[in-house]
Structure 1
Amino acid sequence: MSPRTNRQRRPVVLLRPVPGTSVIHDMWAGTKLLVVAGVGVLLTFYPGWIPIGLVALLVLGTAWLAHIPRGALPSIPTFLWFLIVLGGVTATFAGGSPEVTVGSVTVGLGGLLNFLRLTVLSIVLLGLGALVSWTTNVAEIAPAVAKLGRPLKALRVPIDDWAVAIALALRAFPMLIDEFRVLFAARKLRPREQIEGGRAHRWGAEVVDLLAAAITVALRRADEMGDAITARGGTGQISALPAGPKLRDTVAMAVVLVLCLLSVYVEVLTPLATSKT
């Protein structure tokens, strides 16, 4: 036997808070949603290296305050590293400044730097969203959405119904993932049926069977969830949890506001001052 042991991959765990308590866990869910929205808008208009770096520091500092263990991070599959390397090599052919000369060959690194910037930007945004998932109970999302969208009620926007729909989707997503994993595992244990035709025909028949079973499981879970919601007083109770911002939320919003203003200053005012000189 080979002494090498296969390491078990850590799956992606989202929409389930990490056990424990911290100042980040105790924050209002609406504050976290506002922070994610604000940072998303910032990086949409100013996706430079300095704003990305500041947001990355914010993500790392928040993870440290929330006591997120390293085991919460999912394992990165090998094919994803291959795709990243392939994308970097392909982006290098785009050229652009700065340029590096090796002997008689000049290589432009502009495309590669843009690819790396977009890759880091995606990782930072994914980390920010994962932090919200790891530190927020799903039951707190709907009341926060309902409270943040309360001014829209003057425009006859059904914000309570939207909040309930979001809450039900967030609750059902992890549950359906577990059901589908059990379904796929059971499918692998079944003996393969002898179906006439080529490999494509057999593959299509298996996909149809899996889709039919998945729809059946989803309908059964939806029926059970509907009965549970009716027994607990209806959908109005989902968005009726009393919660609101506190002092820690004010401090967090102030920190994010300072980060956004600093990023805008660096991205806008500093290039203008340099061009004038």
Structure 2
Amino acid sequence: MSTARPRRQVVLLRPVPGRTVIHDLWAGAKLIIVGAIGVLLTFYPGWFPIAAVALLVLVSARLARIPRGVLPSVPRWLWFLLALGGLTATFAGGSPVLSVGSMEIGFGGLLNFLRITALSIVLLGLGAMISWTTNVAEIAPAVTALGRPLRPLRIPVDDWAVALALSLRAFPMLIDEFSVLYAARRLRPPDVDAHRRGRGKRWAAELIDLLAAAITVALRRADEMGDAITARGGAGQISAAPSKPARRDWVAFAIVAVVCGAALALELTVLPTSSARS
């Protein structure tokens, strides 16, 4: 008798244990790098910048010793949607055009779809790398340090940093609580009501029960977190830790700048030349 493999869940906001050069980077440096790469891919979402960022993500994952087990399982319906999207994008046509007998097929739409898909995967991998290599407790001091120039403008940088840190801390806990609630819901006996209207009413009642339980769990977690913060000296201690870049962070800045600069130069020189020749 064959049993289905358990699907691997998404592991986010929980750093992978280890002490590597990627783990030791300053959290603010990682945020700056992600922001700079986001700006680059926003204005120049071409193949060369996407490939360069993908290379940076893969090398960083190798240096950080990220295991394959943290990658979630891809459901089959997602592959079906990607195949359907690629098929429908092919109907848009565009260059390059392939001639098959008397019929011409343009693959411009398919290439654009593949480029957008690759861009989405690269951005997800970039965010996942930050999640897998950064402790949540390091985010608030880094945001406070980065927002220090905004303090003369009376912008509440410290409050924003604390709110961000609390949100990142609460997110994994709420996911676990909701998973427990969903598992408890699945343990209930199946619905035996033969009438569609009766099943609809029961599903609506169960949905309301789940929402009420989720709100109760969130409020309980918030109360426990508030007591813990008060016992440790208040919310100000969350962002009060010293945080500043080190020498390895400047080396990381230089490497990212060189790789992204080379990719941008290729994007602006090679692709226009090839387009003009075609």
Instruction: State TM-score, norm by structure 2.
Output: 0.93
For the residue of structure 1 that corresponds to 2:99, the secondary structure is strand
Out of 58, 61, 64, which is 1:63 matched to?
A: 61
**What is residue 261 of structure 2 aligned with on the other side?**
261
How far has the Cα of 1:9 moved from its partner?
1.4
- Equivalent pairs counted in the alignment come to 275
Distance 1:139 1:149 in 2: 17
What CA RMSD, in Å, does the superposition of the two structures yield over aligned residues?
1.9
1:168-187 pair list within 5 angstroms: 168-187=166-185
Distance 1:8 1:51 in 2: 36
How far has the Cα of 1:189 moved from its partner?
1.7
**What is residue 105 of structure 1 aligned with on the other side?**
103
Provide Cα deviations, 1:203-238, integer angstroms capped at 9, x if missing partner: 222211111110010011101101110111000000
**What is residue 19 of structure 1 aligned with on the other side?**
17
Distance 1:222 1:273 in 2: 58
How far has the Cα of 1:186 moved from its partner?
1.1
Distance 1:228 1:34 in 2: 30
Instruction: State TM-score, norm by structure 1.
Output: 0.94
1:51-130 pair list within 5 angstroms: 51-130=49-128
Provide Cα deviations, 1:148-207, integer angstroms capped at 9, x if missing partner: 011011111100000000000000000000000001111222346788834333222221
**What is residue 244 of structure 1 aligned with on the other side?**
244
Kindly indicate whether the alpha-carbon contact (under 8 Å) linking 2:191 and 2:199 is maintained by their aligned counterparts in 1.
no
Distance verdict in 2 for CA 1:103–1:175, change over 3 Å = same
**What is residue 139 of structure 1 aligned with on the other side?**
137
For the residue of structure 2 that corresponds to 1:100, the secondary structure is strand
Distance 2:24 2:236 in 1: 24
Gaps of 5+ in 1: none
Distance verdict in 2 for CA 1:276–1:74, change over 3 Å = closer
Larger mean Cα displacement after TM superposition, 52-61 or 258-267:
258-267
Provide Cα deviations, 1:5-31, integer angstroms capped at 9, x if missing partner: 422211100000001110000110000
Distance 1:198 1:91 in 2: 42
Distance verdict in 2 for CA 1:227–1:107, change over 3 Å = same
**What is residue 165 of structure 1 aligned with on the other side?**
163
Provide Cα deviations, 1:89-142, integer angstroms capped at 9, x if missing partner: 111111111111222221110000000000001001100110110000000000
**What is residue 233 of structure 1 aligned with on the other side?**
233
For the residue of structure 2 that corresponds to 1:15, the secondary structure is coil
Distance verdict in 2 for CA 1:76–1:226, change over 3 Å = same
Larger mean Cα displacement after TM superposition, 89-98 or 183-192:
183-192
Amino acid at match of 1:213: A
Distance verdict in 2 for CA 1:21–1:121, change over 3 Å = same
Distance 1:234 1:175 in 2: 21
1:50 equivalenced with 2:48 (yes/no): yes
Distance 1:214 1:66 in 2: 35
Amino acid at match of 1:264: L
Distance verdict in 2 for CA 1:25–1:208, change over 3 Å = same
How far has the Cα of 1:242 moved from its partner?
1.4
Distance verdict in 2 for CA 1:61–1:86, change over 3 Å = same
Distance verdict in 2 for CA 1:78–1:57, change over 3 Å = same
Gaps of 5+ in 2: none
For the residue of structure 2 that corresponds to 1:9, the secondary structure is coil
